[in-house]
Structure formats: structure tokens, C-alpha cells
């Protein structure tokens, strides 16, 4: 029995299924979570299916979160999507169910769960959820709401098919999802739009971006900056891809102040591997897209120096 078959058997076996994802969710986290919940609910209407976690206003159009009581976890199957390690799971009750399944496309550096289906080569967890549906499509139902959620997750994690993890299979999955008839244009426009304060912050990022000679870029968003644009950490997600649009930039870091004075670090790259740098600073992720933490401005400067060294080594290797 394959791992996917084992997962499907667990879904069929349990009457109550609770689906978690990671904190500070992106479109793939919510897309894979809501997409899976909708597929199971449409396929098995008599089952109780709950998607739980903090409701994020800017992404609520993908799907609303459910409320789960502690008793709901009794004899429940818990599935966690798009979450590489336990500390990032939104709602720590995820261990209270009868069985726990991990479905994820990040490197499996921190395994957990009774079953763990991890495919780092997949573009997104949403792509994996579609693959699970497709393998058992004679017993599962993919409705337009599920398809829209999964498509949104794929678009989010591939940067609208810009990133290197986009494969021919990814495009075939997207086409199959589009064929269900949801409003694809509305989804694309929703993901491409930004509030006016984020547009103003975008201008600030470009004006204050520090770029080394070898293409390592960084910008620090302090409390004063966020107050100036009336934004919180969640509102800064829209500026993360911006440095990559500059032709001379090969990798970049965006530092965002947190309530405790530490900094959230978003690392991105167009070539050099940056997830090992993230691991050194209490983080991790993909080779070209990772996250980390800096406890203070001294660690921010350390990360900037290390990122610059990575860019220099990358440029040198290209010339050889």
C-alpha cells in the first residue's frame, strides 16, 4: 500500500477530520487546507470536516476558518498541510487527535506525524492535494470551491508560475483546476492587487534597499517604518518579491520588526541556495525561499554579511 493509499484509507475511516496549517499563513497554506477540506466534505457529506487556525483577514476570501472544541479531537483524524515543523503549526491541539498526517512540500528536516507525505519537488502543498484527489478521483469529488483554493495556493507559491519549482505537471494541474469553472481572472486579480499603504511601502523598499556589488539586497522595516505606513507584519508580505525584480539582485532579505523587538527574516533568491543560512538563524525552508529570525540588529547585520558572502560566492562560481 502506497503512502497516498494509507492517507486515503485514514480519511475514509474517520468520521471527524480536522485540518491544520502553519501560522502566518500564505495562499498555499490556506489553499491546501481549504481545498482538502472541501474535497473531503463534497465526497463524504456525512463526515465532520473542520479547517482550523487563526482567521487572516486578507486571505479570508480563499476560505473561512472553522471553530473546533477540544472534544472534537477525540477519535479525530488530524491532517496538517504545508507545515515543515511542529512549532509552526497553528493551534497546538493538532496532536490531540487519534491519528496525525503531515502533507507538505518543504524539506523534511523535522519529521512528525503517524504518516508523513512530503514531496519537496512539488511546487506547493496545493499541487499535492490535487494529486491525492486525482489518484482517487473515482471516489473523490473536486468542486469549484476546492479547485479555486488549490489554484490560489499554486499561484501563490509559484509566483504565478515565475519560480523554478513550476513544472509541466504544475501547469497541467492548474489547467485541470481551471476546467472546473471558477473565476480564474478574479483570483489572479485578487492576488495581484495591494492596498494603498502596501503600495507606499513598496516605494519605501525600493528607495531604501541596500544592494551589494554582487547582488545581495536587504531592507530593514522597523517599528517606525511600519507605523509610518500604518501596517503590521502581516501587511508586509506584498513587498517580499520586489527586490527580485531588479536585474542585478540575486538574493535578498527583508527584516520585519516583531512585538518583542526581534526581527522576522524573509529570505529569497534567484540562484544561490539560502536555506542553509536560514537554518543558522532559527529558520529553514526551500533552497530559494526561506524564513529565519534575528534576535536584534546585531544579528540582522550578521545575516546581511552572510547573505553578501553567498552572493559573492555565487557570482564567482558563475564566472568559472
Q: What is the structure's pLDDT at 8? A: 98
Q: How far apart are CA 126 and CA 147, in angstroms?
A: 10
Global pTM value: 0.90
pLDDT 10s digits, 263-278: 999 999 999 999 999 9
CB 246 within 8 A of CB 273: no
CB under 8 Å to 92, separation ≥6 — which residues? none
Report the Cα 16 to chain-centroid distance in Å. Answer: 25
Mean pLDDT by 10 residues, the chain (320 residues): 95 98 94 98 97 90 96 97 94 96 93 96 97 98 98 95 93 98 96 92 96 96 93 87 96 96 95 94 89 95 97 88
Number of alpha carbons in the 13 Å side-chain half-sphere of residue 296: 1
DSSP character string of 63-126: -PPP---GGGGTT-EEEEES-SSGGGBSSGGGGGSSEEEEEE-S--SS--SSEEEE-TTSS-HH
- DSSP symbol at 181: -
Average pLDDT, the chain: 95
Query: Residue 136 burial (CB < 10 Å; 0-12/13-18/19+)?
Result: middle
Q: What is the structure's pLDDT at 235? A: 83
Amino acid at each position: 500500500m502506497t503512502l497516498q493509499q494509507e492517507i486515503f484509507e485514514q480519511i475514509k475511516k474517520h468520521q471527524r477530520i480536522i485540518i491544520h496549517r502553519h501560522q502566518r499563513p500564505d495562499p498555499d497554506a490556506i489553499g491546501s487546507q481549504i481545498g482538502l477540506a472541501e474535497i473531503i466534505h463534497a465526497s463524504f457529506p456525512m463526515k465532520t470536516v473542520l479547517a482550523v487556525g487563526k482567521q487572516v483577514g486578507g486571505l479570508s476570501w480563499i476560505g473561512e476558518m472553522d471553530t473546533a472544541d477540544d472534544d472534537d479531537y477525540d477519535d479525530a483524524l488530524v491532517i496538517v498541510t504545508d507545515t515543515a515543523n511542529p512549532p509552526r503549526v497553528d493551534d497546538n491541539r493538532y496532536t490531540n487527535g487519534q491519528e496525525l498526517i503531515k502533507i507538505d512540500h518543504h524539506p523534511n528536516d523535522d519529521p512528525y506525524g503517524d504518516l508523513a507525505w512530503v514531496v519537496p519537488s512539488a511546487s506547493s502543498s496545493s499541487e499535492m492535494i490535487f494529486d491525492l484527489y486525482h489518484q482517487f478521483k473515482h471516489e473523490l469529488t473536486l468542486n469549484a470551491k476546492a479547485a479555486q483554493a488549490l489554484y490560489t495556493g499554486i499561484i501563490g507559491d509559484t509566483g504565478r508560475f515565475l519560480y523554478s519549482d513550476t513544472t509541466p505537471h504544475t501547469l497541467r494541474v492548474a489547467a485541470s483546476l481551471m476546467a472546473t469553472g471558477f473565476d480564474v481572472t478574479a483570483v489572479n486579480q485578487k492576488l495581484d492587487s495591494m492596498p494603498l499603504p502596501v503600495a507606499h511601502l513598496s516605494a519605501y523598499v525600493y528607495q531604501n534597499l541596500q544592494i551589494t556589488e554582487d547582488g545581495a539586497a536587504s531592507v530593514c522595516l522597523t517599528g517606525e517604518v511600519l507605523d509610518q505606513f500604518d501596517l503590521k507584519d502581516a501587511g508586509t508580505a506584498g513587498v517580499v518579491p520586489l527586490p527580485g525584480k531588479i536585474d542585478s539582485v540575486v538574493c535578498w532579505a527583508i527584516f520585519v520588526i516583531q512585538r518583542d523587538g526581534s526581527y522576522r527574516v524573509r529570505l529569497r533568491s534567484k540562484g544561490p541556495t539560502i536555506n542553509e543560512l536560514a537554518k543558522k538563524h532559527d529558520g529553514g525552508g526551500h533552497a530559494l525561499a526561506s524564513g529565519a529570525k534575528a534576535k536584534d540588529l546585531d544579528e540582522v547585520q550578521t545575516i546581511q554579511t552572510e547573505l553578501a558572502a553567498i552572493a559573492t560566492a555565487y557570482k564567482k562560481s558563475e564566472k568559472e
